[in-house]
Amino acid sequence: MPELPEVETIRRGVAPHVASRSIEHVTVRDRRLRFGIPEDLEQRLEGQPITALWRRAKYLVFETPDGALLLHLGMSGRLHVLPAEDIPPPGAHAHLDLRLDDGTVLRLTDPRRFGMALWATRPVEQHKLLRSLGPEPTQADWPADALIQACQGRTAPIKSVLMDQRVVVGVGNIYANEALFQAGIHPKRAAGRISPARLRRLHAAAIEVLDAAIAQGGTTLRDFSGADGSPGYFQLVVSVYQRDGQPCRRCQTPIRRMVIGQRATFWCPSCQR
């Protein structure tokens, strides 16, 4: 499943192609994505300039004067940028094409159909899927004290709290594993029993891991690639994720695996307490 670094990588790849462009034509071949593609999406988008492209959590927001197209890639979705001179025939899972006024096509494909393509009226930030989200994982938007406060009195595992999108958005499974390793915290430790000093280390580690993943173009696991088809490379430098049985990069102790909240969890029994 594409996580925040993958979606941000796609946003950065797509942004230059939509800057100062308008949506000339919309083709919907199959509306059967999650929640269904709205019947009036074509009418709302055709002829509209794209005034901004931004990301909120794992949503891509194509803003227009009247509102915005919200795209979510679900578990297997991809957004391809196809130049006007080289547009291949749509495959079986090409749900949506946006043809821009220079002939470029943005094509959304999604074999498993867990993605979304929805319309948001203004104010876009108050759309039902966006308004309850937590802060973005940056120093400016998410101070360490906010994580400390979110953990107070909590008996839930710290990994579950870190992945709670109401606490902070975008710390998905891969990056929660990696941040907890960097901070030296056992993923099953009760959030309310971790000292503020250690939570500050975890806060810094989460931001650092996500920034590093964005710099590497995300993580390629099964389906992800950037808008230009290039894979991400963060998987080459992960410390614990999917490395169960392999030696820890710090202490050589074999990495272990367990399940927390129905998600595979990886940790070093020597480095994480």
Q: Which of 44, 55, 56, 58 is catalytic?
A: 58
The answer to whether the annotation marks 154 as part of a ligand binding site is yes
CA separation (Å) from 101 to 10, 16, 35, 225, 242? 21, 14, 28, 25, 44
> Is 5 known to be catalytic?
no
**Burial state string for 165-200 with b = 16 or more CB within 10 A and e = fewer than 16:** eebbbbbbbbbbbbbbbbbbbbbbbebeebeeebbb
> Is 3 known to be catalytic?
yes
> Is 113 known to be catalytic?
no
Q: Is omega for the bond preceding 269 within 30 degrees of 0, making it cis?
A: no
Tokens standing for residue 84: 């006007």
Alpha-carbon distance of 246 to 182, in angstroms, equals 17
Tokens standing for residue 111: 């074999």
Alpha-carbon distance of 272 to 61, in angstroms, equals 38
Alpha-carbon distance of 55 to 175, in angstroms, equals 18
> Is 58 known to be catalytic?
yes
The answer to whether the annotation marks 72 as part of a ligand binding site is no
Alpha-carbon distance of 107 to 117, in angstroms, equals 12
* Cα Rg of the chain, angstroms: 20
Q: Which residues are annotated as a binding site for DNA?
A: 93, 112, 154
- Would you name the residues annotated as active-site residues? 2-3, 58, 263
Q: Which residues are annotated as a binding site?
A: 93, 112, 154
